Amino acid sequence: MLETNQKPAQESIINLDSLNKDALKACKNETKSANRWTVAEIVALFEMPFSDLMHRAQTVHRENFDPNGVQVSTLLSIKTGGCSEDCGYCPQAARYHTDVENEPLMQLDDVLAAAQEAKNNGASRFCMGAAWRSPKQKDLEPVLKMIAEVKAMGLETCATLGMLKEGQAAQLKEAGLDYYNHNLDTAPEFYGDVITTRTYQDRLDTLDSVREADINVCCGGIIGMGEARHQRAGLLAQLANMERPPESVPINLLTQVEGTPLHGTEELDPFEFVRTIAAARITMPQSYVRLSAGRQSMHEGIQALCFIAGANSIFYGEKLLTTGNPEAETDKALFAKLGIHPI
């Protein structure tokens, strides 16, 4: 990973008339390299006047993507509950008393039926999630078959299975996996307040093994867990300053579930969430920024602002792992209102 305090080599001129003084110092570089963002510079993005931030994010978005195209994914929990981790946000942790019941690994035919339904609804990527700390080889074997069969249906494949052991990423690649999701969740200095059963370095090591296997990286975090603004900026700095930023960056809003330690956390202001989307777009201009968990709680207007801010990927379907997600027909209606088409 490159040092985040390096100075950019290339500068370009932007209209600075309406930027506040703090933002002025940090936002000179419209074409700033993805490996050069400091936390202070990203905080300055957050502090820009809202309209200026949205304009800048939309400009970056249009330079790199179809502004009205949104990539659509469906996420299926293929193995639910019983996880040994202590992630403070997660209802699938065995140690917490939630309404999530332990369920065994799904059968192949049921997974393929769900994938076909997702494809029929317009999804281009099918993601399979299993509540494991790290899959054993006997666990991985049936998942490899699922990946191969879903790939044969003409869908992009994604999986989130926890930490990977040596050689497992290569097996996933051979089976046809296109993306592996493994989130950093938050900034390094806040991470220990949320999770203690695996380290930040554990997560980075898994991401390294995914890269070495030539699998696309899907990596983001969760916003609204009680972190400060500079810690939200710190998460984005970690992602943007990777030698190769993630191809897909899910930005999740904490979905509070009764029985988890983070239940009762003060809710994040929705405009702060939009600012986070915009900052992600600016700092990772060529990544897909996914409006992910928590979307069910967002008014259509906030979702629309997120798309303007540069979000160009969503999950849709009835559930996002174990919490609700807007149904496909609702999303199609919103797309129609906004003139958005799935890609």
Catalytic one among 87, 203, 275, 295? 87
Catalytic one among 90, 219, 232, 281? 90
Contact indicator for 72, 292 with CB cutoff of 8 Å: no
**Element counts in the chain: helices (H) and strands (E):** 12, 12
Catalytic one among 27, 56, 125, 127? 127
DSSP H helices in the chain? 21-26, 39-46, 50-64, 108-120, 137-152, 168-175, 188-191, 200-212, 229-240, 270-283, 300-308, 328-338
90 is catalytic: yes
Catalytic one among 27, 36, 125, 158? 158
Give the position of tokens 């390096």. 6
Q: Tell me the C-alpha to C-alpha distance, in Å, between residue 200 and each of 187, 194, 203.
A: 9, 11, 5
Catalytic one among 198, 203, 275, 290? 290
Catalytic one among 27, 83, 219, 306? 83
Strand 323-324 to 319-320 pairing? antiparallel
306 is catalytic: no
Q: Which amino acid is at 337?
A: K
Q: What are phi and psi of 93, to 5 degrees?
A: -70, 130
Strand 248-253 to 221-223 pairing? parallel
211 is catalytic: no
Q: How many residues does the chain have?
A: 343
83 is catalytic: yes
Which tokens in the block code for residue 57? 């994010």
Give the position of tokens 């369920």. 103
Contact indicator for 258, 249 with CB cutoff of 8 Å: no
Distance CA 218, CA 182 (A): 6
Q: Tell me the C-alpha to C-alpha distance, in Å, between residue 117 and each of 150, 179, 265.
A: 12, 20, 35
115, 212, 122, 203: which is closest to 160 by C-alpha?
203
Can you list the pairs that 326-335 forms with residues at least 24 positions away whose Cβ atoms lie under 8 Å?
326/295, 326/296, 328/121, 328/122, 331/72, 332/122, 334/300, 334/303, 334/304, 335/70
Catalytic one among 36, 203, 218, 295? 218
Question: What is the set of active-site residues?
Answer: 83, 87, 90, 127, 158, 218, 290
